[in-house]
Structure 1
């Protein structure tokens, strides 16, 4: 997919309005990517949450499409806004971007959005991603985020899509073992990936109920 700056399609305002705006000492995209907003006691959490809810509710589909057509910061931010508001009309676009894996960092936000949507269709997208990328033991993309999201969906839907990936010596273990810097790392277990997705989604649930 070609990358187009939002200015080229008449939406030059969206970067400053949604991506680089500050409610703390860092721009929004950086706070979302760092996960700092999920940490207990972060002093800007309430203000950050309110700004995300407000923008997720009011941003137009055209503005979201403008963000999704640009680089990783705008795509990451758009995916978070889509996930918070559960804009399921973007399911296919999010799935295509996840499978394409064109840019860094944004894939985890796509997985968050799919986990928030919470349907069988979302589980199928995540399964297709893992089928394609877990055998690629030379690549560290968004396999952990995709597995965590799929495990959450399995628990929600009563399905077992992730089981064949997480059996002993199956694709997940093979992928982790092939990447020396991940091997024996306590964060790279299926349980930890599910925990991280739960933290993101449960926190977003709290935002939308606030």
Structure 2
């Protein structure tokens, strides 16, 4: 898979048109799984370069491919990009991939992101995705990283995301992780 045949973001779950009918969903899952396994590390690295030409759409897709492929060697790059939050919407893919890696280090990354951006009401980025991912990791790892963000009058309740139910953020990420797992198995 070369850079000229990069998958489209408009069919990814979480995008405005990402809900597909069942028959199209199966085909898309196979294609996404195939792409995640065939894309080279060099192509993924190229798409993540801070000075590259990739838009948020390519970055979002790249992060999905990394997450589906379980390419943990990109963890630190995704962490840096998530913390920089330079491209709108791309952070959704970074948070999803980091969550799918499923290790304690990933909970630390999402915690650092929430520590940085929840207290900033003018930074309405991807905090809901990060919190949902952190809650998902807590459930999987038996940890409690998200608890301090969710205390009464805690960072979540004082943030620009206070109107979003944390349980909904968690269930949304869990649904997307299931989708990514299906894609990974589709072409494994």
- Fold shared by both chains (TM-score > 0.5): yes
Residue correspondence of structure 1 range 1-210 to structure 2 within 5 A: 13-14=2-3, 16-19=4-7, 28-32=8-12, 33-34=14-15, 36-38=17-19, 41-69=21-49, 70-176=54-160, 184=163, 188-210=164-186
Gaps of 5+ in 2: none
Q: Quick one: distance in 2 between partners of 1:208 and 1:42?
A: 17
Indicate conservation of the 8 Å contact 1:56/1:81, yes or no: yes
Higher gyration radius (CA) = 1
RMSD: 1.8
In the TM superposition, what whole-angstrom CA distance separates every residue of 1:64-98 from its partner, at most 9, and x where no partner exists?
01111222111111000000011000000000000
Indicate conservation of the 8 Å contact 1:134/1:171, yes or no: yes
Gaps of 5+ in 1: 1-10, 20-27, 177-181
In structure 2, the residue matched to 1:179 is: none
In structure 2, the residue matched to 1:8 is: none
Q: Which has the higher contact order (CA 8 A, sep 6+)?
A: 2
Q: Quick one: distance in 1 between partners of 2:24 and 2:184?
A: 17
Indicate conservation of the 8 Å contact 1:165/1:172, yes or no: yes
Q: How many residues in Structure 1 have an aligned counterpart in Structure 2?
A: 181
